[in-house]
Amino acid sequence: MLEFPTKNRKEKMIYLIMKHTPYEYINDSYDIVCSTDNLDEANNKLQGYRMINENKNISFSILKYEPPLILTEEVA
């Protein structure tokens, strides 16, 4: 049985700025244009990307990403 090391785990949330480009005849494109671990900085960057975007078909959004939990100990 594996035990989750929740006491020593540092909560590290990463915020990804994603660019969505839709196409008519091929699959849409999803690109990560930026990442940060600060939510305020992510919101500021998202607002900046939206302000300079001249193509109305392209959209930007924030995704919350939490790195996977790595189990380090096995408990019987």
Q: Is the predicted pLDDT of residue 75 greater than 70, yes or no?
A: no
Per residue in 15-67, pLDDT (tens digit) is 999 999 999 999 999 999 999 999 999 999 999 999 999 999 999 999 999 88
Instruction: Report if pTM > 0.85.
Output: no
E strands present in the chain? 14-21, 29-36, 59-65
Non-local CB neighbours of 58 within 8 Å, separated by 6+ positions: 19, 20, 21
